[in-house]
Structure 1
Amino acid sequence: MPGLDRQKDGEHGHDLKLENREGLFICNGCKELGFGNCYKCPRVGFCNYVLHVGCISEGRTPLSNPLFKNCKFQFYQKNPLTVAPACRICALDIQGRMYHCSKRKYSLHPYCATLHTTITLPGSDMKIKLRRGTKFNFFKSKCLKCGKRNRSSGNVQCLSYVSSDDNLCYHVACMKEACRDNFVRGYFRPGIRSNERSKFLALKNLAPKVELSSVGQTSEVLLIRFLKLVVFAILGEPFDLIAPLFQPSRS
């Protein structure tokens, strides 16, 4: 039986090996972006099959999530429903493997199911929390990406990462889309040197509703700290990879 460094997967014929990817990848299980630890087929040059650690199908036990009380989420390698459901955290359609609670009819991306609900940045007093607005009490700040307080798909509302002072907000779906866009543009790839223009373009892509030239140095530092935290929350541990893209501009 394979150990933790090797795992079997129901949809792949070879044992998968645990490795740490330096760049982003698209998980073959859930079809979502991933970073860092993953299980990959060791047949280099012949197979590019890769999975999030949380998307391995073998040995999955029911999952609880503090955001959804009285829910037990069962892991499914294939969608057990007749339609593609929207994830109850990011409100985006689930295209692959998933967690589903048959009692509440809630579904989650495997990666979204494990997002941290509270994160702090080392060396900073800034804290962000994963929160859900209510029908009559949305956050006072608008999403830095789309400029709206609420984002939803049908009756499924997207959750947001919000700063402790409520002044900064980012929808989970908007950050996932922004990260994928930056990945496609080449900003999140290892070995690519960043210059001032690439930093500016990446930051503008993450916060297009903010006029960077008018926020001031202090506000820019807080904004970048917040963006670092949200990117970390969505991708895992990409600080070393993307830190050059989030440095305050020199005056």
Structure 2
Amino acid sequence: MSTKSLRKSGTFLLNKSPSMELANSPRTTTFLPVEFPTSPQPTLGKDISHFSHPHTLSQVLLPELFTCSGCKEYGAGTRFTCKHCDFQLHDFCALSPDQVLLKAHPLHGQHQLGLHSKPKTGGMLSSSCDVCGKPAKGYTFRCSACSFQMHPCCAMFSTEMSFLAHPHSLKLLPAMSTLSSGDPGFACAECKRRRSGRVYRCTVCDYHLHAVCAKSMINGLQAYGIKGVEKPSMLAAAARLASHVVIGFIGGLLEGIGEGVGEVIGQNIAKGKYTSGRRSG
């Protein structure tokens, strides 16, 4: 992680979360980027200097889909963009604290979390977020005491949330809950699918919502009517590639066998003709 701090060049109005504390915060720091898990509310049009980019970033509001240069995930609406190149960041990625640790986050209160520009290595398998289950390819909040990590977007979640898609508040089920997204009786109200990741459940009715589906309500996709833009998983892509290789191999093998059989038949025919010729002579 770079040691450059996120410098203040404008006034940002942020919600304060009483349940959150920032550990190891320097006393000389005059700018607090954002206190997770509350959503940042900076004043539009202000510029910031970010540790990950050499140019100044301006906050704008655009309805088009974009890929965040920090976390590598999709977004729409409010973002910080560079006027000199195509570098863009979600507001929560741009305002994530890079020099201080998140202490007592609702989703991982036992340890402190630090922002990293790259996810932890996952060996042969891709590294994934412990909240939504999607691959982690860029910025992550990572625990130094254990293997826990999550996207900056997922760090905006709390154990109890209210979403416009449902009239009641939702509570996050425990990570090892018996009612998981793999349960045949479970139905997410948004995607109607079974998938990995944490799950929210309504406190009043039988409404359930995947954390990964709730992300579209945080990153601006739902607000701008953008659907069906999930990136294909590396495992699925590898499976498709392997199937093509196997099919090609089998096809070539059959073709070779066919040529071999044809050659043998031709040789036998020629041999038969030669033998019959000798007998008739």
The bucket for the TM-score relative to the shorter chain is 0.5 to 0.7
Residue aligning to 1:51: 89
Pairing partner for 1:242 from 210, 222, 225:
225
For 2:157 and 2:144, the matched residues in 1 are separated by 21
Aligned residue type for 1:132: P
Residue 237 of structure 1 and its aligned partner are, at CA, apart by 8.2
Query: 1:114 — aligned with what?
Result: 156
Output the CA distance in 1 between the equivalents of 2:47 and 2:174: 37
Q: In structure 1, which of residues 101, 105, 114 is the aligned counterpart of residue 147 of structure 2?
A: 105
Tell me the CA shift for residue 133 of structure 1: 5.4
Q: Which amino acid aligns with 1:105?
A: S
Once the two structures are superposed, what CA deviation does each residue of 1:141-194 show, in whole Å capped at 9, x if it has no partner? 42242533xx43xxxxx1123233352223223x2xxxxxxxxxxxxxxxxxxx
3-state DSSP class of the match of 1:74? strand
Letter in 2 for 1:56: A
Unpaired runs of at least 5, structure 1: 153-157, 176-229, 244-251
TM-score, normalised by the number of residues in structure 2: 0.53
- The correspondence of residues 1-16 of structure 1 with structure 2, limited to 5 A, is 2-4=8-10, 5-16=46-57
1:105 Cα offset (Å): 1.7
Q: Tell me the distance in 2 between the aligned counterparts of 1:169 and 1:107.
A: 23
The answer as to whether partners of 1:57 and 1:77 remain within 8 angstroms in 2 is no
Decide whether the 8 Å contact of 1:121 with 1:127 is kept in 2. no
What's the secondary structure of 1:113's corresponding residue? helix
Deviation at 1:95, TM superposition (A): 0.5
Instruction: Tell me the CA shift for residue 87 of structure 1.
Output: 0.7
Out of 126, 129, 153, the position equivalent to 2:171 is 129
Q: Which amino acid aligns with 1:118?
A: M
Q: How many residues align?
A: 176
- Which residue is 1:233 aligned to? 217
Unaligned runs of 5+ in 2: 1-6, 11-45, 227-281
**Contact (CA 8 Å) 1:76, 1:97: kept in 2 or not?**
yes
Going from structure 1 to structure 2, the CA distance change for 1:73 and 1:120 (only over 3 Å counts) comes to same
Counterpart position of 2:119: 79
Conservation of the 8 A alpha-carbon contact between 1:8 and 1:58: no
- Normalising by structure 1, we get a TM-score of 0.58
Tell me, yes or no, if the aligned pair for 1:31 and 1:96 is still in contact at 8 Å.
yes
Q: Which has the higher strand share?
A: 1
Shift of 1:58: 8.0
The separation in 2 between residues aligned to 1:159 and 1:69, in whole angstroms, is 16
